[in-house]
Structures are given as structure tokens and as C-alpha cells.
Amino acid sequence: MTDAATATPAMTAPPQRLPWWRRLLRDRAALMALVVLVLIFAAAALAPWLAPYDPYASSRKVMLPPAWAARGSMDFLLGTDPQGRDILSRLLYGTRLTLLIGLSSILVGGLLGSFLGLLAAFYARLDPWIMRLSDVLLSLPAILLGLALVAALGQGIMPVVLALVVSTIPDCARIARGIAMGIMKQEFIEAGRALGLPDRQLFTRYLLRNAISSILIFLSLRFGQLILIAASLSFLGLGARPPVAELGMMAAQGRDFFLFAPHIAVIPSVLILIIVLAANIAGDALRDVLDPRLQT
């Protein structure tokens, strides 16, 4: 059994001179994006140790500009917000929450979506049903789902995550199905069938293993969009509830003081831009290197 599985022919691109990760590292923009992402993720994960202050503790120093500005203070490197809270500390915690929202929704939505998509390709019987279901889910854009769920469940992180998950499922199911359809036509699937392998093994060892890298690329490209939607909902006051720090909400809090203290809104917004940009660039590069067929 295991012999048959390990003998699975690789479905990757034709042999090239360099392994994929070497080619990825040669792309300078992609390399930089990856480094930036790793740094941001590390900073977010280590927020409790890196943050100089309690993100919820306010001080008397209200709306202090960043340290490099004329009135800035070295005590508060990125300044303080309208409640006198340290922006750097809130930024670290806010990034943590924003990334957590994005990651959890992409993981859950991606898992459910790709499972459905692979299933549809594997069992032709299920295909019309699964695709019909995904058509239905696809008919409502994420932001509308978010508005509806927040209206029903009240503002908070859970309805936002739920909306992001539900909106990821149909997209991911379609992509996974397309990828899996291509794999199912390959000869090794037929060979596996001829060997009399049970469906479960064909599914996991033959189909899933060969489809997974393409699906992951799609999800990495989708990650940035989810972060943007979550941040937008929070900006509108429909996501995270104060005093919790979340990047979109932090930007919203700075909106009313944009004239005198632009840094309060600009700093979190720029961080969102950097995260999404890095994720998009890295995802694009990963796709070009690993799976040029996915190129749109």
C-alpha cells in the first residue's frame, strides 16, 4: 500500500535548473515581501513582550506625535492616541488581532472550501450539488454578508470572521475543483484505480497531495483581501469593539483628529497597506514560481 503511494508521480512543473525556493529567493521583491511578513508576524506574536506599555492604559499625554516630530517624546515612539494610549503598543496588539482574524478565516474557509471543491471533482455525482451551493454562497459579497451578520448578531469580531469564512468557501471550492479536475484526468489516478486503491487513499494520497500547493497559493493571494475587508468593517465601527485594538478600528479613531494628529490614522493604515501589499507580492511570486498555470 505505502509503496504504491510513495510511487505517486510528481505532478509539479517540468524539471528546472533551480528548486522552487531558490527561484523564489532570487526574486528580490518577493524576498523582501517575505522578510517583511515574517517580521510583522513575529512582532504580532511577541506583542505582549515587545509592547512597551499596556495597550489599554491611558496617560495624560494625549495625541502626542511620533518621536521624530517636533513635539514628540522618546517615551512614546509612535506617539499616543486621543485617549493617551501608546500607539506602538496598540499597534502590536492590533496587528495581532487583525492577523488572527485574517488567518483564522482563511484557514477555516479554505479548509471547508477546498474540501468541497476536491470532493466535487472526485465524485462527479456530487459535483452539481456542490457547485450549486457555491453559486448560492457566491451570490453575496463578503461585505454584504458582514453587514448582514453584524446586523443580526451585533457588532463584534465573530460575525466578521463568520462572514469572511462564508465568503471564502465558494471561491476556494471553485479553484480547488478546477485544479482537481486537471489532476483527475492524469494517468496516475487511473493507475491508482487500476491498482484497486480505496477511494479514501486515492483522495488523500493522489488527489490532495497534488492539489494542495496550488490551493495554498490561491489562499495566500486571498489573505490580503480578507484583511482589507475585516479592516474596512472595523473602520465602520462594525467589527472589533473598543477598547480592543484592531488596525482598522485604530484608523477610524484617528479619523476625527486627522487635521491636527494625522499619525493616529496614518500609522495603522500604512501598516495594513504593508501587510496586504507584502502578502500580495509574496503570493504572486509564489504562484509564478510554483504554479504558472494559475496565472490570471
Residues found near another protein in the complex (CB under 8 A)? 132, 135-136, 139-144, 147-148, 150-152, 155, 224, 228-229, 231-232, 235-238, 248, 251-252, 255, 258-259, 262, 265-266, 269-270, 272-273, 276-277, 280-281, 284, 295-296
CB of 100 to another protein, least distance (A): 18
Nearer to another protein, 183 or 221 (CB): 221
The Cα–Cα gap between 43 and 295 comes to: 32
Nearer to another protein, 67 or 133 (CB): 133
Q: For residue 56, what are the contacts with CB-CB under 8 A and spacing of at least 6?
A: 85, 243
CB of 152 to another protein, least distance (A): 6
CB of 203 to another protein, least distance (A): 28
Nearer to another protein, 1 or 273 (CB): 273
Of 57, 58, 74, the closest CA to residue 66 belongs to 74
Q: Assess contact for 211 and 176: CB atoms under 8 A.
A: yes
In three-state secondary structure terms, 86 is: strand
CB of 198 to another protein, least distance (A): 35
User: What separation in angstroms does the CA of 256 have from each of 59, 62, 65, 81, 262?
Assistant: 20, 14, 15, 11, 9
Nearer to another protein, 168 or 210 (CB): 168
Q: Assess contact for 264 and 198: CB atoms under 8 A.
A: no
Nearer to another protein, 6 or 139 (CB): 139
Q: How many CA atoms lie within 13 A of 167 on its CB side?
A: 25
CB of 258 to another protein, least distance (A): 6
